[in-house]
Structure 1
Amino acid sequence: MARRFLKHALLASALALPGAALAQPISGLYIAGAGGANWLMDSDATSSSAAVRANFGNGSIEFETGWVALGSLGWGFGNGLRLEVEGSYRRNSVDGASGFGGLVRPLRTTGHVSNWAVMANVLYDFVIPGSPVMPYLGGGVGYAQTNYQGVRVQGFNGPRLDLVGSEGNFAYQGIAGLAFNIAAVPGLAVTAEYRFFGTLDPSIRSNYVPAAGVVARTNTEVENFNHSVLVGLRYAFNQPRPAVVATPVVAAQPTVARTYLVFFDWDRADLTDRARQIIAEAANASRSTQTTRIEVAGHADRSGTPQYNQRLSQRRAEVVAAELARNGVSRSAISISAFGESRPLVPTADGVREPQNRRVEIVLR
C-alpha cells in the first residue's frame, strides 16, 4: 500500500511540473557536484599522557554547524548500478567544550576542524515507473585527512590543551538521495542527499600548557562522525532524450489519424484501471469519427530476450484488442501487429526496464 501511494504521489508531482522528465538509469560516464550543511558530532578527546589525564582530564569538544562540498566522477551500467570516485571537503568551527575536570570554569575554546577525503562509492538507483524522481542508496570507503587547526580548550585563567595536528585514516560513508531529472537538458538532474561520514579515531598532536611549569607534548585521540545534507547537480553524458510524462498522444493531423498509448507494468500483459480508461476513450472516438480501421500494435522494453519480448508484445496487443471489442468495437475493424523490442519509444541499452517502451499503440484511421 505504501509503495503504491508513493508511486501515485510522485506521478502527480511529475504531471504538475512541466519541466519533469521520466527518470532513467544512467548508462555511461557522468559527473556530479554538491554542497550543503555539515554537522560534526561532539568529539570525546582523550590524551595519551597519564599525567595530562590526571591534571587536565578528558572531555568532549563541541562544534558549530559547518559546510561540505564534494565532486564526483562515475559510470552507470544502465541497470541502476553506479560506481564513482569522489573528493570532498568538510569544515566545522569549535563551539564549546565540556568535561576536562582539571579546568576552572568557564571553558574557553577556539579553532576549527577540517576533513579532506577521497572515496570510492557504489550506488543503486531505484526507477519508479512513470515518475521523474529516482531514489538511490549507496555507500563508500576511502581515505580522509582530519586536520585540527588552532583548536584550544582552556579554563578560566588556567591551563590549556592545544590540538594543532592532523592524521589520515580509513573513512567510510552511507548515502541516501533523490535525483530529479530535468526535461529541458537530457542527462541533467538535481540531487538532494543525506550522508553519514566517519573515520577511524584520529590521534592529533597536542601541547598541554599548565598554569606554571613545562609544556608537555602529547597526542589526543578524538572522534570524527559527520552528518551532511547536500543539494547538487549531476550530468550524465550520452543519455537518450527522455520521454515527457503525457496523456494519450494525439497525432499531428487528428482528422487523419488519432493515436492512443496504453502502458503496461514490467513483464505483464494485464490491463490497469488507467489502461481500461484509455481503451474506452479510443472506442468512443472510433464511433464519433469517420474511423474505418483500428490498428493495434504491441511493444516491449529490452529487459528480456528478443524472442520473449516478441511474444509478450503479441499478448499485450491481443488483450487491448479484446478490450476494444468489449467496448463495442467490431472485431473485424481491428488489425493486430507485434514488434517486440524493435521499435522503442525511448532508446535504451539492452536489459534496461523502460516503462515508456512497455506499450500498445491504438491508431484510429
Structure 2
Amino acid sequence: MSLRLGLLATTCLALPLLLGPGQAAAQTVSGPYIGAGAGINFWHDQSSRGLRVHDEDVGYVGLVNVGYGFGNGFRAELEGNYRYSDIDTVSGAGFRGSSGYVRQYGAMANVLFDFDLSSFGIAPNGMMPYLGGGVGYLWREISSAKFSGGTSSYRIEDTAGSFGYQAIAGISWGLGGMVPGLSFTTEYRYVGALDSSHDVTRTAGPGLATVPGKVKLATENHSVLFGLRYVFNTPRPAPAVVEPPPPPATARTYLVFFDWDRADLTDRARQIIAEAAAAAPQVQTTRIEVAGHADRSGTPQYNQRLSQRRADAVAAELVRRGIARDLIAVSAYGETRPLVPTADGVREPQNRRVEIVLR
C-alpha cells in the first residue's frame, strides 16, 4: 500500500506541471489569505491488546484554513480538518466483526515556507512549491464497530482526543490571470497523533477473556488534497506602460544599471557616467536629468527609497566628473516606470537603472 500511495501522491503533486504554464506567476504570499481543500485519505490499520481495527483503505478528507503571509516566504495559518474512513473488519483471538466507521476532526496551527524559484534563476511560470508542518489536537470517533465471538457480542462506540501533528508538502499554481490572488493547490499531508483510549462495550453474552475493556489506538493518516487559496489585497497586474514621446534630436540618453538591492556604482557604471559627463559640453547641455528606477521585487515604499539612492549616487559621480550641480535635476520613480513590464515580485535587471538624459 505504501508504494501505491507514494505513486499517487507524486502524480497528484506533479499534476500542475502537466497542465502547462499559467497566465500569471505565483508570488510569495503577502498579507491575509483563506484556503480550502478536499481529497482522499488513507488511515492505517491499528491494533491494541489483541484487537485489530482494519480500514477500507480509501476514505476522504476536507479542510479549511485562514492564514497570513509575511512576504518573505513564511506563512502561518490556523486549520480545521475532517477525515472519514470505513472500518473493514475488527478482529482478534476468537472474535471478528465487519462494520463501523472512523471520523477524525481537529484543529491545527501550521507554519509553512514558499520557495520562489525565480531566486534560483528560473523564470517564474506560475508554480510555487512549499513545505510546512503543524501541531494541534485531533479527535477520533469510532462508531458502530461491532464484533462477536460465539454467543458474545461487543461494540466500540466512543470518541477520544489527543495531541496531533502533521507534515505538509505542496505546490500552488497561480490563477491570477483569472482572479488576482487566487491559486490552485495540490498537497500531500502526513497526519499523526498520540494514542487515544476507546471503551469496548459488551452488548450480549458472557465476556471473552481475549477482549479488552479499553483499547489504545494510534493515529496515522496519509492524505492527498486539491484546493484553492485566495490572498486578499493582491495588486492587479501592472497596466501597459505608455511609451513617452521621443526626446528632441539633441538629447542623449545613458543607462546606468545596478545589482539587485544595491545603490553603489560598479566599474562599468562609472565608465558610462564618465561618457555622459564628457558628452555634456559637446551637445551644449543646459540641463541633465538623472532619474532613478527599481524593479518590482520589493515593496513600493522600499523601491522608491532605493531608486532615490541610486539617482543620488549617479548625480554625485557627475559632479565629481566636473558637472555643475545646479545643472542636474534628480528624480526617483521607484518601480512605477519599468523598462521591462513584469509581475510584482520579479527581479528584472533592466529595471534596476538610472537614466541620464542630456538636454
Could you list the per-position Cα deviations for residues 230-283 of structure 1 after superposition, in whole angstroms to 9, with x for gaps in the alignment? 001111110112469xxxx9x7789979xxxxx9995599xxxxxxxxxxxxxx
Aligned mates of 2:174, 2:42 — CA distance in 1: 28
Q: Distance in 2 between matches of 1:15 and 1:235?
A: 20
**Equivalent residue for 2:80, pick from 79, 82, 87:** 87
1:74 Cα shift?
1.0
Change (3 A) 1:138 1:161: same
Contact 1:243 1:356 in 2 (8 A): no
Task: Output the CA distance in 1 between the equivalents of 2:303 and 2:230.
Answer: 30
Return the match for 1:146 from 140, 143, 147. 140
TM-aligned CA distance change 1:253 to 1:79, over 3 Å: closer
Give the 3-state SS of the residue equivalent to 1:223 in structure 2.
strand
User: What's 1:20 paired with?
Assistant: 23
Do the aligned partners of residues 306 and 84 (structure 1) sit closer, same or farther apart at CA in structure 2, a change above 3 Å counting? same
Distance 1:208 1:79, change over 3 A: same
Matches within 5 A, 1:95-114: 95-97=88-90, 100-103=92-95, 107-114=96-103
- What pairs up with 1:17-56 in 2 under 5 angstroms? 17=21, 19-46=22-49
Distance 1:135 1:143 in 2: 26
| Alpha-carbon contact 1:201-1:224 (below 8 Å) kept | yes
Q: Which amino acid aligns with 2:115?
A: F
**Equivalent residue number for residue 204 of structure 1:** 198
Quote how far apart the aligned CAs of 1:108 are: 3.1
Aligned to 2:128: 134
SS for the counterpart of 2:72 is coil
TM-score when normalising by structure 1: 0.63
For 2:352 and 2:223, the matched residues in 1 are separated by 45
User: How many residues are treated as equivalent by the alignment?
Assistant: 279
Given candidates 139, 144, 163, the residue that maps to 2:156 is: 163
Contact kept, 8 Å, 1:192 with 1:232, in 2: the verdict is yes
Q: Which residue identity is paired with 1:189?
A: S
Alpha-carbon distance between aligned partners in 2 of 1:252 and 1:342, rounded to the nearest angstrom: 15
AA partner of residue 302 (structure 1): G
Assess, with a 3 A threshold, how the Cα gap between structure 1 residues 171 and 16 changes in structure 2: closer, same or farther: closer
**Preserved CA contact (<8 Å) 1:34 1:69:** yes
Contact 1:192/1:230, CA 8 A, preserved across alignment: yes
Q: Are 2:81 and 2:105, in contact at CA under 8 Å, matched by a contact in 1?
A: yes
Question: Which amino acid letter does the alignment assign opposite residue 147 of structure 2?
Answer: V
CA deviation profile, 1:266-308 (whole Å, cap 9, x unmatched):
5599xxxxxxxxxxxxxxxxxxxxxxxxx99853433878776
CA shift for structure 1 position 213: 1.9
Tell whether the 8 Å contact from 1:74 to 1:83 is kept in structure 2 after alignment. yes
1:302 lines up with 2:298 in the alignment: yes
The residue that corresponds to 1:78 in the other structure is 71
Q: Is the 8 A contact 1:298 1:314 kept in 2?
A: no
Say yes or no: does 1:63 pair with 2:56. Answer: yes
CA distance in 2, matches of 1:314, 1:34: 50
- Relative to the length of structure 2, the TM-score reads 0.64
Among 160, 169, 178, which residue is 1:176 paired with? Answer: 169
Q: Deviations over 1:96-147 (max 9, x none)?
A: 355x1233xxx43110000110111111111122321111111111111110
1:237 is aligned, of 232, 239, 243, to 232
Taking the aligned partners of 1:153 and 1:340, their CA distance within structure 2 comes to 75
**Partners in 1 of 2:94 and 2:337 — Cα distance?**
73
| The one of 162, 187, 202 aligned to 1:193 | 187
Rounded to whole Å, the distance in 1 between the matches of 2:336 and 2:97 is 71
Give me the whole-angstrom Cα distance separating, in 1, the residues matched to 2:215 and 2:161.
14
Q: Deviations over 1:326-364 (max 9, x none)?
A: xxxxxxxxxxx995845375899xxx953358735899x
Q: From the superposition, tell whether residues 147 and 360 of structure 1 become closer, same or farther in structure 2 (CA, over 3 Å).
A: same
Matched, 1:220 2:226: no
Partner of 1:286: none
Aligned equivalents of 1:193 and 1:264: distance in 2? 39
Match of 1:355 among 342, 347, 356: 347
Output one character per residue of 1:37-92: Cα deviation in whole Å (capped at 9) or x when no partner: 0100111233xxxxxxxxxx333533331001111111111111111111111000
Q: Classify the secondary structure of the residue corresponding to 1:222.
A: strand
Taking structure 1 as reference, are residues 14 and 89 closer, same or farther at Cα in structure 2, changes over 3 Å only?
Answer: closer
Cα deviations by residue, 1:169-190 (Å, 9 ceiling, x for unpaired): 1111111111111112100111
RMSD: 4.3
